[in-house]
Chains A and B, each alone.
Chain A
């Protein structure tokens, strides 16, 4: 009986023990997994950015009737399309099935001889010199919570035809642009003239009716064959593709054509011209399948139209370029029947699809570039679904120089947001990485000598009683919140350094001499053994005195050497600009923050060099300093190296100090008197505002991932060095 109870109790205890074992194992492993989750989660957010785009054909169907498609349009979600036919019909149809929803005849008095568009406005050029402007739209409503689209067709400038060419010749090519100031229409006539008319737009406040008034009309005749024309949104340039591989740039103003035009040799025949979103860049499709991006760049002698980059290297002539409505991407179709997606800024070829030899004549994007509608020369319509979320990111965009629109040259630029809609975000991580390294570098410049020299003294020469005070003090230093250090750096040290600049440099210069001088003075004392080990304490008043002295000297020094103001002197004489919150301030304060990290590890290493090595060296007659340099330091140097690495790792990841003590300007300038923006500070500033799952958001996660990997690898490496060293000592 008793045995049974005991046995029962024993079983219970064994069960408990086993349960505890599982509990601890599960708990422990899950905690470790949770920690590792950081790595995988960051990676999981970053990866989609580098996945390639996909395009697939969803539907295709044939258009009935004789008429040919001249233009295509697609609704925002890609469910309804519109086609303009050469017989003057405008047909709305379901893009999935081709089922016709609405068919309107424009009742034109003449034949359509050319067509062009500007977003949802379509301009039709007629063979009697008249034009008609039509706007198509898709009105959304939700009766009974069902998304319903009603197609609409409007005539924003009235139903009547507008006379463009006064000699009433057929308009072979046409283009239209509308901006706040007015409306421009340009056309090439059958008798080889370019006619340009500029209109003032006026909107009536009461009826919201738009009336236009002719501002100027002018024309130019030419001898060559023009295959296509493009008008810029600012109405200041007209680009014409001339057979023989020439791009002609006519400049325009309010009065119409002014006298100068410039020819650019492309060498290959131009088959297609389109402006990229924003109207700054021109895409030129060539007969050899190449697409070139050109834009106007400022030079010393004014603006020059310049080749920027090229795409597409197939052998087949480009038949159509369709630009995206919200990004700098575009789709290109060639005569081989290949449709390829590109992104201009990142110069990426995203994906392509083959239509099996069909010649695509027209393409249309939905607003978010998730659907692409195409029609071939046989009148067959294709609907493609496109999955292409992050085309703007490439290795070059993140780490290379990119020539952005509106810039004079290619450069590293970080500019993630701006107030205007047409703004293109610029995501070069270079300036941020540069800023991170710069801040860390200046911090190390200050921290490494102080920490390592201090560690040498504390570990080997300091009196034990003083060491007991010093070590906790340094630990306290490590614990000081960086937000306080950053606040002091930004609001106390930065203005102070600005007014005492000469004093700061004087201090850095005279400190070592001051120490040696006081060492000499103390060496004259009769009984030197009392101060042995207490040198650091004796030097504290010396440091204070020297600080006071150099701050007093600051003004006189500036007067004597720098004409009274060092900052002005520097910018006048040496060309240095001075930011109040600069790398010097960051270096001093962040140096302060990393001193303890380096100090603790280095001190530990130096202290744990085996005593018998030191005693042996001393016994052989080496002085204490010689022992230090030739015995202790070589033995401890790997650990000191790893201490410096850890300090660097900490400086790289430090956020609050750089956030508060620099101007946070993402510039690449190594000057000590300029600010910087670091990866960490950039994350802190921008993450709260970044839209979830947007490119910006993922890039910030990438920045965090880089910081994570960098410090992790750095620290692991440092840890391994120390580990090896420890092993070596244990052998001794």
Chain B
């Protein structure tokens, strides 16, 4: 034993243990996010718990979130102090009736629990999920369902109301939104003319006429939506909740309805995929705690693309200058170290710089020069997409410079000399030989930059993200790409929903799902970069020999 300790083997094992801890932590966290994020969309079976004691009886209809068996004396809110007790964390939904979505259940006085076939779950526009039994379907005040066609009647009418809702949404966000946008532009144009003292009668007439035409169109569209709003209010259902109360729910408030206990495995899988899909493509509801995250995905992608467009040329030029043109000496070495170390400067510092320099200084000046008509409302003098991309471009610039420089330095001198020896100028050598060969390195740098930018939140909180952006930064209104708009971002969405929302408990699964999505994107990007880099190294190793 003493020998064994003297040999140092246990200490080597201790070292091995450290790396095991790190690995368990990485994969444990990834697994945790995966499980918590992806299980949310699974249509879990709904249980009915029947309680009965001497005085009264109680039924609870809910999804089991987790259950555990613990010693009774560790549970504070029950009287029993001996033996073990099983408790269930359940989701009862019906927040409008019960006050909260979740509650703890204990197996005291529990007679039985089962999964009744006809339990129905509704995803509603407001108040979260509804759990109960469907009684009947009504058109205005007339009952239109009977025993046989209850569910099919409900489903077909639900589809109709969903269609109408989509039409309303299209009208309001599409055409009505476009008219509002044009009206606003007209107003700005008029103010601009007044400011420049160029408002002639003919110009004014033109504007007034245009405005009149737009208002007529607007009134027509408004009438259309009013008709649709009346139509969507036609149907409603009566449903029984767990304590026997019957409630009436208008169909316009229902997003989706299903009876999970009747589902076969295939149907469940089908449902799962469609829920996941709607999470990705839908807009958020209820202060971001429900619905989808499409605007956040869109905003993140837009921002990252813009950033990539900005960072690549600048990063490559700087690297080419440092490596190929600048005279190598103490100054360049210092600059190189400085650039390297900027990658280690906290991102929040870039955010502060972006806010002060880009938003307030540059943006403020742009506003007073080019957008006097919009004053005092800021156009570029407020956080927005352009400034976010610029800030992140600056933040990731060192990454691109370092990667490109590394790529340039790996290209064998013999190749350059060969090219120069054949009579090519320096720029031709650079453009035709060196840069193409360095392109994988540039790509690696760019991918790493994109991965970093996609996950960065702290600076964006200062220079452009918001919890809820009314419009996407890209739409059908001229000039289509709105660089001055604020946008939503996956990372900020996680922070906001997880920490700022009124109902964190109910929103948590969505935060996990969002996290999972972000992790997938970022890990994917990083793995690509790592692969690319490894291939690159192989390639040059072959060249070197």
- Taking beta carbons and an 8 Å cutoff, which residues of A are in contact with B? 13-14, 16-17, 20-21, 23-25, 27-29, 31-32, 34-38, 41-42, 45, 449-454, 456-458, 461-462, 470, 472-477, 479-488, 490-492, 511-512, 514-516, 518-520, 522-523, 535-540, 542-544, 547, 555, 564, 592, 595, 599, 623-626, 628-629, 646, 649-650, 652-656, 659-660, 680, 683-684, 687-688, 692, 700-701, 704, 707-708, 711-712, 714-716, 719-720
Q: How far is the CA of A625 from the CA of B12 in the complex (A)?
A: 7
18 CB < 8 A contacts A-B? A31-B317, A32-B339, A38-B345, A453-B18, A470-B19, A486-B495, A518-B13, A519-B12, A522-B13, A536-B19, A564-B74, A629-B8, A649-B344, A653-B347, A683-B352, A704-B352, A712-B342, A715-B341
Using known A-B contacts A491-B498, A539-B20, A719-B340, determine if residue A483 contacts B457 with beta carbons closer than 8 Å. Answer: yes
Which residues of the other chain, B, contact A462 by a CB distance below 8 angstroms?
16, 19
Contact with A along B1-19 (1 / 0, CB 8 A): 0001001111111111111
A451 to B21, CA, bound (A): 10
B518 contacts the other chain (CB 8 A): yes
**B346: which A residues are within 8 A, CB to CB?**
652-655, 680, 707-708, 711
A456, B15: Cβ atoms under 8 Å?
yes
Q: Is the CB of B455 within 8 A of A480?
A: yes
Given A449-B18, A719-B341: A476 touches B526 (CB 8 Å cut-off): yes
Given A32-B318, A449-B18, the answer on whether A625 and B7 have CB atoms closer than 8 Å is yes
Tell me the bound Cα distance from A688 to B18 in angstroms.
Answer: 41
Is B357 positioned at the interface, with any CB of A under 8 Å from its CB?
yes
Question: Which one of A483, A486, A564 has the greatest number of beta carbons of chain B within 10 Å?
Answer: A483
The 9 closest A-B pairs by CB, nearest first: A28-B321, A625-B8, A653-B346, A481-B455, A519-B13, A453-B18, A457-B15, A515-B17, A535-B16
Whether B494 is near chain A, meaning CB under 8 Å from some CB there, is yes
Chain A proximity of B256: nearest CB distance (Å): 26
Interface contact B8-A624, CB-CB below 8 Å: yes
B44 at the interface (CB under 8 A from A): no
Q: Using Cβ atoms and an 8 Å threshold, which residues of chain A touch B338?
A: 35-36, 712, 716
Contact status B462-A684, CB under 8 Å: yes
How many B residues face the partner with a CB closer than 8 A? 95
Q: Which of B307-330 contact A (CB under 8 A)?
A: 314-315, 317-318, 320-322, 324-326
B530: chain A residues at CB < 8 Å are 472, 475
CB-CB nearest in chain A for B359:
A692
The answer to whether B321 touches A24, judged by C-beta atoms less than 8 angstroms apart, is yes
Question: B26, B349, B401, B455: which contacts A483 (Cβ < 8 A)?
Answer: B455
Tell me how far the C-beta of A48 lies from the nearest C-beta in chain B, rounded to whole angstroms: 13
Q: Residue-by-residue, is B254-292 near A (CB-CB < 8 Å gives 1, otherwise 0)? A: 000000000000000000000000000000000000000
Q: Is B519 a contact of A707 with CB atoms below 8 Å?
A: no
Residues of B within 8 A of A20 (CB): 426-427, 430
Known: A592-B29, A715-B345. 10 other contacts (CB 8 A): A31-B318, A42-B353, A461-B15, A515-B14, A625-B9, A688-B355, A707-B346, A711-B341, A714-B344, A719-B341
Contacts of A629 in B (CB 8 A): 8
- Indicate if the CB atoms of B427 and A454 lie closer than 8 Å: no
CA separation between A539 and B24, bound complex, in Å? 10
Is B352 touching A700 in the complex (CB atoms < 8 A)? yes
Chain B 516-543, CB-CB to A under 8 Å as 1, else 0, gives 0011001100110010000000000000
A474's partner among B9, B22, B425 (CB-CB below 8 A) is B22
By a CB distance below 8 angstroms, the chain A residues around B21 are 450, 454, 511, 543
Within 8 A of A (CB), among B331-365: 335, 337-342, 344-353, 355-357, 360
B349 touches A653 (CB 8 A): yes
Smallest CB separation, A282 vs chain B (Å): 40
User: Are B32 and A492 in contact (CB-based, < 8 A)?
Assistant: yes
Chain B residues with CB under 8 A of A511: 17, 21
Q: Max chain A CB contacts within 10 Å: which of B13, B29, B428?
A: B13
- At the interface, is chain B mostly helix, strand, loop or mixed? helix
Q: Are A28 and B345 in contact (CB under 8 A)?
A: no
Given contacts A27-B321, A491-B508, contact A454 B18 (CB under 8 A): yes
**Interface check B25, CB cutoff 8 A:** yes
B458 at the interface (CB under 8 A from A): yes
| Closest CB in chain A relative to B66 CB, distance in Å | 13
Q: A516-B13, A523-B4, A704-B353 are in contact. Are A27 and B318 (CB under 8 A)?
A: yes
B12 touching A624, Cβ below 8 Å: yes
If A29-B321, A453-B14, A544-B24 touch, whether A479 touches B455 (CB-CB below 8 Å) is: yes
A475 contacts B321, CB within 8 Å? Answer: no
Q: Hey, which chain A residues are within 8 Å of B352, CB to CB?
A: 42, 683, 687, 700-701, 704
Asked if B515 CB lies within 8 Å of chain A CBs, one says yes
Choose among B321, B346, B494 the residue with the greatest number of A CB atoms under 10 Å from its CB.
Answer: B346
Question: Are A28's CB and B322's CB within 8 A?
Answer: yes
* Cross-chain contact B318 with A28 (CB below 8 angstroms): yes
- Whether the pair B325, A21 counts as a contact (CB closer than 8 A) is yes
Q: Is the beta-carbon distance between A31 and B491 smaller than 8 angstroms? A: no
Q: Nearest-CB distance from B244 to chain A (Å)?
A: 35
Cβ of B392 under 8 Å from chain A: no
Q: Decide if A473 touches B26 in the complex (CB within 8 Å).
A: yes
How far does the alpha carbon of A519 sit from the alpha carbon of B344 in the complex, in Å?
38
Pairwise interchain contact B15-A453, C-beta atoms closer than 8 A: yes
Which residues 352-382 of B have a CB within 8 angstroms of A?
A: 352-353, 355-357, 360
Asked whether, in the complex, the Cβ of A688 is within 8 Å of the Cβ of B519, the reply is no
With a CB–CB cut-off of 8 A, which chain B residues contact A483? 455, 457, 491-492, 494-495
Inter-chain contact A35/B339, CB cutoff 8 Å: yes
Q: Does B123 contact A (CB under 8 A)?
A: no
In the bound complex, do residue A28 and residue B347 qualify as a contact, i.e. CB atoms below 8 Å apart? no
Chain B hits for A555, CB < 8 A: 70-71, 74
CB within 8 Å for A595 and B22 given contacts A28-B325, A625-B7, A660-B499 = yes
Query: Are B23 and A540 touching (Cβ within 8 A)?
Result: yes
Which residues of the partner chain A approach B385 to less than 8 Å between Cβ atoms? none
CB-based nearest B residue for A588: B25
Q: Which residue of B lies closest to A519 (CB)?
A: B13
Question: Residues of B contacting A17 with CB < 8 Å?
Answer: 425-428
B171 CB to nearest A CB, Å:
35
Q: B451 on the interface (CB 8 Å rule)?
A: yes
Nearest chain A CB to B149 CB, angstrom units:
45
- CA gap between A34 and B394 in the complex, in Å: 8
| B504 within 8 A of partner (CB) | yes
**B461 contacts A by Cβ under 8 Å:** yes
**Candidates A41, A450, A485, A492; contact of B357 at CB < 8 Å:** A41
CB distance from B525 to the nearest CB of A (A): 8
Interchain CB contact under 8 A, B22 and A454 = yes
With contacts A484-B494, A704-B352 taken as known, whether A32 is within 8 angstroms of B14 at the C-beta atoms is no
In angstroms, Cα B348 to Cα A689, docked, is 15
* Interchain CB contact under 8 A, B18 and A479: no
Scoring A624, A654, A680, A704 by chain B CB atoms within 10 A of each residue's CB, the highest score goes to: A704
Closest to A472 in B: B530
In the bound assembly, the distance between CA atoms of A15 and B225 in angstroms comes to: 65
Contacts of B318 in A (CB 8 A): 27-28, 31-32
Which residues of B have CB within 8 Å of A484?
33, 455, 491, 494, 515, 518-519
Is B397 among interface residues, defined by CB-CB distance under 8 A? Answer: yes
B436 to chain A, nearest CB (A): 16
A456–B11 alpha-carbon span in the complex (Å): 11
Q: Tell me if B456 is interfacial: C-beta within 8 Å of chain A.
A: yes
Q: Are A457 and B16 in contact (CB under 8 A)?
A: yes
Q: In the complex, which residues of chain B have a beta carbon less than 8 angstroms from the beta carbon of A688?
A: 355, 461-462
Residues of chain A with a CB closer than 8 A to B394's CB: 34-35, 38
Contacts of B315 in A (CB 8 A): 31
Q: How far is the CB of A296 from chain B (nearest CB, A)?
A: 40
How far in angstroms is the closest Cβ of chain B from A103? 40
Q: Contacts A512-B17, A555-B71, A684-B348 known; A488 to B430 CB distance under 8 Å?
A: no
B498 touches A687 (CB 8 A): no
B345 contacts which of A24, A473, A711 (Cβ < 8 Å)? A711
The answer to whether B120 has its CB under 8 Å from any CB of chain A is: no
A647 to chain B, nearest CB (A): 10
